[in-house]
Amino acid sequence: MKNYLLAFLFVGLLFAFKSDKPAYALFDAKGRQVHYADLLEKASEAEVILFGEQHDNPIDHWLEQELTKDLHAARKGQLVLGAEMFEADDQIVVDEYLSGSLSEKGLKDECKLWTNFPTDYKPLLDFAKKNGLRFVATNIPRRYANMVYGKGLEKLDSVAPDAKKWIAPLPIAYDKSLKCYADIFNAAKGHGGENLPKSQAIKDATMAWFILQHLEQGKSFLHFNGSYHSDLHQGIVWYLKQAKPDLKILTISSVEQEGLEEVAADNAGLGDFVLVTPTSLSKSYRP
């Protein structure tokens, strides 16, 4: 009877453990597991928050929406939003949608929207619309990033003056020793030469430029971008710091792991906070 009870308790405990399926875990820069409230508190104190996402991760997108709502409440509406997913030359279209003068169909017809816009980014844009928030299209138009990849940064000198307003002021600084660019170069095994990481750099520089142009005294700027653009406090962060070394920046890095009990050594310290989700998670879209 005793053995039976022990076996019953063991199976019960095992079942209870197996049935606990957390969707995410948060860790600080030192690898310590923390709570969402810790993230919200620190984000409320920052001037710029860079939420680095995995583009096809539904938990990342859900937490972006939750943080937006909670940060808006914590900052009493003193919030500006912006995103990599909108190119700078579409700003007028975004503004017309936010003002109500352009329909959702008009937005879809006129703006270069990502495939997963309806599920993942429209809720953020609609939150800005509902609450009268500025939403900044921060990314360089893709045609100019492609131009850099094909012909180098110097090719941008030939762009029409009116078009240069959608790009960070030229020439941009470029540090090829930064890990974020060195890794791109090494992963490509020289394919595209330095132009490949430079095409990444012009995106980072342009996003940083438009963030800086829309910083408002007393407001926080919450920006959504691919995690690689702000991991290790490089990319966008590097360009922000070149212009404003004392800027209070908080970064969130998003990674996927088999387990959530601890953050893997390779992922620890990627951001001020590291959002870990399971690799088995369903994807929000397929590119």
Place of tokens 């096809």: 56
Q: Is residue 213 part of a domain?
A: yes
CATH number at residue 199: 3.40.50.11550
Q: Is residue 16 part of a domain?
A: no
Domains contained in the chain, number: 1
Q: Is residue 12 part of a domain?
A: no
Sign of CA dihedral 142, 54, 72, 111: positive
pLDDT value for 14: 47
Q: Is residue 47 part of a domain?
A: yes
pTM attached to this predicted model: 0.92
Segment 17-76, tens digit of pLDDT: 455 789 999 999 999 999 999 999 999 999 999 999 999 999 999 999 999 999 999 999
Q: Is residue 11 part of a domain?
A: no
The pLDDT of 102-125, averaged and rounded, is 97
94 pLDDT exceeds 60? yes
The percent of residues above 70 in pLDDT, for the chain, comes to: 93
Whole-angstrom Cα distance, residue 53 to residue 19?
27
pLDDT value for 192: 75
Q: Is residue 258 part of a domain?
A: yes
pLDDT value for 9: 52
Confidence category of residue 3, pLDDT binned at 50, 70, 90: low
Q: Is residue 142 part of a domain?
A: yes
Amino acid occupying residue 195: N
Segment 135-192, tens digit of pLDDT: 999 999 999 999 999 999 999 999 999 999 999 999 999 999 999 999 999 998 777 7
Are 173 and 153 within 8 A, CB to CB?
A: no
Tell me how far CA of residue 227 lies from CA of 6, 101, 109, 192, 196, in angstroms.
Answer: 47, 33, 28, 23, 18
User: For 172, which DSSP code?
Assistant: P
Q: Is residue 239 part of a domain?
A: yes
Amino acid occupying residue 80: V
Name the residue among 244, 154, 162, 167 with its Cα closest to residue 206.
167
- The range of the structural domain enclosing residue 243 comes to 22-278
